[in-house]
Structure 1
Amino acid sequence: MHDNLVLNESLLTQLQQAYARHGQPHRWDEHQTAAFFQHIQAEGTEHWLPSGDGLDYGGFLEYMTSPAANALGPPPPEQDLSWPLGSYFCSSSHNTYLTGDQLASDASTAAYKDVLLRNCRCIEIDVWDGTEHFHDPDNPDSGGFDGRGTRKLGFRARTALKVGTWVLDNCMTTEKAKEEAKEHKARFASLLGVEPRVLHGHTLTKEVPFREVCRAVKEHGFVTSDLPIVVSLEVHCTPPQQDTMVEIMRQEWEGLLLDEPDEPAEVLPSPEAMRNKILVKVKYVPPEGDLTPINTTESDMSDIARDGEPAKKEKPVKITHDLSDMGIYTRAVKYKSMTQKEAEMVGHIFSVSEPKLPGAFDKEASLFFAHNKRHLMRTYPAGTRVDSSNMDPSGHWRRGVQFAALNWQTMDEGMMLNEALFDGSKGYVLKPDGYRGVKLGHEEGGEPMVPHQTLHACSVTVLAAQGLPSESGAGLHPYVSVKLFADPHPLQLMKREPLAGRTEPAEGINPDFGGQTVLFGDVVGVTSELSFLMFQVMNDELGRDPLLGWACIRLDRLRTGYRIVRLFDLENNQTPAALLVKIEMAVQNAGA
């Protein structure tokens, strides 16, 4: 939102003091105005000094309440989308189907609608063998519908399914026979019209039909962004139900799926070349080989049983060639090392879990980072995050990971950073220099180095806030936590303590913080495109302090000087609340 801010008394008082601090009390002359805009605000005076005769207090307030004084600067008007896919960060979701925690929440197509309309471009679908729900596109009016557009099996079909399942479950005694029985059951179910379902396995999460998820992707996927969608499939289905998956995807995504290229690609295509297309990420099976057991489970949560105890280890699922062939530029390969033969295969994608990423990177850091300049990688939260909390994705981006998948249903610091990186984009952000390879045909220029900057005398002075949410201002004791996410590049082998500070609590919904300063000092080795300043307004209470509002800004879009910070709520909606701060830092490029 870019509407002008209406000021309350707390902000007005601090702005009046700021105006008096930098010039004459009623009207700044031309030199005082120029000094304020150039040295304090680090911007030009063209718009606010058109006649060259200074700036009065009313003009100063007009400036401070306009979008020009927002701490968040505008995104670039145009983004270059012609680089290969591996040259971009992609806004990505983990366990997209869940509406809450990973033990007992519902699976819902509404979750896909929500993230897609927020420009998420990589979603996840966990697919399991179906039960009695199925969809009959040729006979939609027959049978009883369950209210979601999905028909249940009739009495005879349901009885036949139960009898056949009972026979296969009770007449097979050996382990080999039991494994064969699973496939027989799936084939029998497919003949009756049973379709796969989406849920979080081995938990109490509710299910939703796979077809409905595919339909939701088609209906909402390209409403707010026409850039390509990567669908990450976690397949737990038997081969007959995989065949049904392929049929459903081809039906529901007709005209949206990528075609196999006529010739093997030398490099990945660009987002520009794949507008309005869906890429299927699925485990890769070599075409010359037989079906081989491949562990299709990425999420560590598959090892959590319904009672919260560790489950019996799931046996690998055989992926059919028809399903595997749907992965064209996103062929999922199990990561072992950067020297495995698949690491140079155009169109592969490695997946690495949050807890395994640091060790995997440290073991072969240079190869790891070089790989992610040209080839794809997806990371995802640890399976122990049963509350659907999130990792800090910024460390993953600094390692070159394109798809750092997060739980979008939880607005915590991880998602705040994700919102900051992709703000103003349509789900793809071009990596900084040094994080990309070179375009095909432009090799003579070589690869640029990773940019490093130093922030000198970095500080944030918190002046006041207004409009904080509260049923009653009585008993509200807000304070402001300020965090700087600016870790050095991992190849620099530098360590840095977390950079954070907070104010003392103030009072009420329009608190005056009196100019308390959070000092960060000099910060070296910064890549501003991957560094962030985060504000969290908290209420000081016994126990866990609730969040009243937040904002997070990428450093390359952060404006210094006296600035208004517009606050968001836990639903990611901009609120009327705002902070008045003074941001100070001098940015020096390496070698300057």
Structure 2
Amino acid sequence: MLFAFPQVRLRFKEIQRSKEKLTSHVTREEFQEAYCELCTRPDVYFLLVQLSQDRECLDPQDLRLFLETEQGLSLATTEGCWELLKRYEPSAQGRERGLLGLDGFARYLQSPECQLLDPEHLGVCQDMNLPLSHYYISTSYRSYLLDDQVHGRADLGGLTKALQSGCRCLELGITDGPEGEPLLGVVNKYAFLTSQYPLLLYLCHRCSPGQQRTMAHHLKKVFGSRLYKPEALHVSLGGRATTLPSPEQLKGRILIVGKKLPPEEDGSDGEEELGVVLVVPPPSQPRKLTLHKDLSDLVAVVRTSSRSFYAQRGSNKQSQSPPSKDLVQFTKRTLTRVRPSSVRLDSSNPNPQGYWKGGVQLVALNQQTPGAMLDLHRGRFSQNGGCGYVLRPAVMRDAVSYFSAHTHGCVPGVPPQTLRIKVISAHNLPKPQGSGAKGEVIDPYVVLEVHGVPADCAEQRTRTAAQNQDEPMFDETFEFQVNMPELALLRFVVLDDDYIGDDFIGQYSVAFECLQPGYRNVPLLGLAGDPLPHTSLFVHVSFYVREILISVSG
């Protein structure tokens, strides 16, 4: 635990005042008393007392009962509890007697074993041998542009960060010019440092045929054997899902996504429509582009025309809502991509959950723009080791299934669940960035958000803690109904309550399927997704399958 100097000094003064001391000298006994009080977490102490029946320590049998009934470890053994006790109990006497005291219990609850995210998901844990279209793919959109999308300067560091964060599809905007290799060199250097699964390079170019030939030369020279060269059938953004290879088959390979000449065209005179599969809002008339055979031959994923699942332009009731049920069926057989509107000026992001629930595999986001949308993106792709590929729900992969992205009730074949979360406390909360003028006082509260299908979307919050509490106790319980667990994301947001405007302190987003039951530590992240040192929430999580009563009249 971390403490501010004024907090420590105040406690020493209180101790000395209680003993009517006039000197500021601190004795050994006073130091020990203050240390024990400051380092004792009330939430952990009360839990330990409850579990040990007022003995303030746990033996291996108590620990095993706790692991089985609270932490969901049904296979816990007495021998394993002894090992856990020896690992976390700091006192030699406690280890010899087989007793886990308050300090050891607190160390266990703050260890990686008690993180909210199931450690199984820290590595690749899903089947990677299914067709490419069966996966959500982490996708970046113009992440090399700083500031805005019109006048923003390019920075290769944006591409580096996107690749290091696990992005497996990059969009590269290319125009005529002499410089090409430095950009490709950066991509080649960082392509597989975070993930070994295939990298898709989405080429958006306005190049002349001569420059396309130069581009093809650079691609082959820089990427070498990593460049996937289609021999027979080409993967198509408009093709059948069964024709797509798997991520496992394409490990360590770079696939070029772009327009391609028809098979009968062997010259440089072919023309194709320039566009993407799905654009929000729908694009205007596609422009024409003359293709060169050298670049066309390197294209492994064929980009087809744009398609809209929205009301027609010009209508007074144009819909900007998430995709309809037609999109769910469309993505069962088609690898599909959605990107932010090209007419906006800033680098804002759409809500990716609105398109994931429609089955869209490639939801392109500006990775350089922090905020809630990017938080959800990180939460989604953390459920498979951050490799950039996450298996879509079974109802989006099965040829015959009945699922609508707009479902407001139970999903056929999917048992609904109830998620119960008790927010117990928060620890080492920092002051919000840029809040220096507000003094030392913070008034924190916690918002819990569930993102998923419409029936699952919900938001609840705790009360606001008393002033100047960086270690607030909440002890509040919330329930959420989750009809589609495979799509649901849970987001914790800690805010500072202020009459001018509530300031952001920290957040953490996680997929429902990654949750561990029991008493868990929630490590909070800053606005840019970086860990906040020693800052966390302490929660209790439980979930169970809801019973559904169906009455049949006849």
TM normalised by structure 1 equals 0.69
Shift of 1:359: 6.7
Partner of 2:57: 27
Gaps of 5+ in 1: 135-208, 305-311, 339-354, 439-448, 489-494
The C-alpha deviation readout for 1:43-96, integer Å capped at 9, x for no partner, is 344333669977543442232121122111113454432211112221111112
Q: CA deviation at 1:214?
A: 1.3
Give the distance between the partners of 2:548 and 2:497, measured in 1 at CA. Answer: 44
Q: 2:166 aligns with which of 119, 137, 146?
A: 119
Aligned equivalents of 1:32, 1:126: Cα separation in 2: 61
Give the direction of change, closer, same or farther, for the CA distance of 1:127–1:60 in structure 2 (3 Å limit). Answer: same
> Does structure 2 retain, via aligned residues, the 8 Å contact 1:32–1:54?
no
Check if 1:433 corresponds to 2:433. Answer: no
8 Å contact kept, 2:145–2:158: yes
In the TM superposition, what whole-angstrom CA distance separates every residue of 1:523-563 from its partner, at most 9, and x where no partner exists?
A: 14122x32111111222335443322211111111123322
Give the alignment's TM-score, normalised by structure 2: 0.73
Unaligned runs of 5+ in 2: 5-37, 86-96, 236-241, 310-317, 400-410, 550-554
Structure 1 residues 572-591: aligned runs within 5 Å = 572-588=529-545
Residue 128 (structure 1) aligns with = 175
* SS in structure 1 of the partner of residue 166 of structure 2: coil
Q: Secondary structure at the match of 1:480?
A: strand
SS at match of 1:458: strand
Give yes or no for contact 1:478–1:511 (8 Å, CA) kept in 2: no
Task: Look up the match of 1:65.
Answer: 110
Instruction: Give the number of aligned pairs.
Output: 464
Alignment of 1:452 onto 2:380: no
Quote the residue 2:259 is aligned against. Answer: 283
Q: Match of 2:444?
A: 478
Identity of aligned residues (%): 25
Matches within 5 A, 1:223-262: 223-262=193-232
Q: Any conservation in 2 of the 1:10–1:512 contact (CA below 8 Å)?
A: no
Q: Partner of 1:292 in structure 2?
A: 271
Where in structure 2 are the equivalents of 1:80-91 lying within 5 Å?
A: 80-91=127-138
Alpha-carbon displacement from aligned partner over 1:107-133 (angstroms, at most 9, x marks no partner): 111111111122111111112233xxx
CA deviations on 1:166-186 (whole Å, 9 max, x unpaired) are xxxxxxxxxxxxxxxxxxxxx
- Cα separation, partners in 2 of 1:71 and 1:451, compared to 1, 3 Å: farther
Task: Indicate the SS of the match to 1:27.
Answer: coil
Alpha carbons 1:433, 1:450 under 8 Å: kept: no
Pairing of 1:325-474 with structure 2 (within 5 A): 325-328=297-300, 330-336=301-307, 361-362=324-325, 364=326, 368-383=327-342, 386-423=345-382, 424-437=385-398, 452-456=414-418, 458-469=420-431, 474=440
CA 1:497–1:461 in structure 2 vs 1: closer, same or farther (change >3 Å)?
same
CA distance in 2, matches of 1:369, 1:457: 26
Are 2:143 and 1:96 equivalent residues in the alignment? yes
Q: 1:55 to 1:417 in 2, by over 3 A?
A: same
The one-character-per-residue Cα deviations of 1:417-475 (angstroms, maximum 9, x if unpaired) are: 1111222232112233333358xxxxxxxxxx986242336233242221425687713
The more displaced of 532-541 and 313-322 is 313-322
Secondary structure in 1 matching 2:521:
strand
Are the counterparts in 2 of residues 467 and 576 from structure 1 also a CA contact under 8 Å? Answer: no
Q: 1:39 matched to which residue of 2? A: 69
Deviations 1:555-591 (A, max 9, x none): 1111233221111122322221433332343231788
**Residue 300 of structure 1: how far off its partner (Å):** 7.3
Describe the shift of the 1:301–1:234 C-alpha distance in structure 2 as closer, same or farther (beyond 3 A).
farther
RMSD: 3.6
Over residues 13-67 of structure 1, what are the superposed CA-to-partner deviations in whole Å (9 max), with x where a residue is unaligned?
2221232344423135677545533333323443336699775434422321211
The 2-side partners of 1:251 and 1:33 are apart by 60
Aligned partner of 1:526: which letter?
M
| 1:542-561 → structure 2 map (5 Å cutoff) | 542-561=499-518
Contact 1:87 1:437 in 2 (8 A): no
Instruction: Say if 1:94 and 1:123, in contact at 8 Å, map to a contact too.
Output: yes
C-alpha contact (below 8 Å) 2:423/2:474 kept by paired residues: no
CA 569–263 in structure 1, closer or farther in 2 if over 3 Å, else same: closer
User: Which deviations, in whole Å up to 9, do the C-alpha atoms of 1:198-254 show, x marking residues without a partner?
Assistant: xxxxxxxxxxx4432212111111222221100111122233333332232222222
Which of 496, 501, 505 pairs up with 1:539? 496
Structure 1 residues 268 and 524: CA distance shift in structure 2, 3 A: same
Deviation at 1:407, TM superposition (A): 0.9
Change in Cα spacing, 1:7 to 1:397, as seen in structure 2 (3 Å) is farther
**Is the deviation greater in 414-423 or in 51-60?**
51-60
* CA contact 1:48–1:55 (8 Å) conserved in 2: no
User: 1:467-491: CA deviations, max 9, x gaps?
Assistant: 4256877133322221112326xxx
Q: Greater CA deviation, 393-402 or 5-14?
A: 5-14
Within 1, Cα distance between the matches of 2:72 and 2:279? 48
TM-aligned CA deviation for residue 509 of structure 1 = 6.4
* Equivalence for 2:408: none
Q: Does 1:15 align with 2:44?
A: yes
CA distance in 2, matches of 1:258, 1:399: 29
Query: Could you tell me whether the CA contact under 8 Å between 1:31 and 1:54 is conserved in 2?
Result: no
Q: Secondary structure at the match of 1:565?
A: strand
* Distance (Å, rounded) in 1 between the aligned partners of 2:170 and 2:52: 53
Q: Report the counterpart of residue 212 of structure 1 in structure 2.
A: 182
> Which residue identity is paired with 2:328?
F
Matches within 5 A, 1:500-579: 500-508=460-468, 510-517=470-477, 519-521=478-480, 523-527=481-485, 529-579=486-536
**Aligned partners of 2:202 and 2:257 also within 8 Å:** yes
Note closer, same or farther for the CA distance 1:271–1:478 as it changes in structure 2 (3 Å cut). same
Counterpart-to-counterpart distance in 2, 1:428 and 1:534 = 20
Counterpart position of 1:162: none
> Aligned partners of 1:259 and 1:300: how far apart in 2?
28
How has the CA–CA distance of structure 1 residues 370 and 470 changed in structure 2, closer, same or farther, with 3 Å as cutoff?
closer
Residues 512, 126 of structure 1: CA spacing in aligned structure 2 closer, same or farther, 3 A cutoff? same
CA–CA separation in structure 1 for the residues paired with 2:463 and 2:148: 32
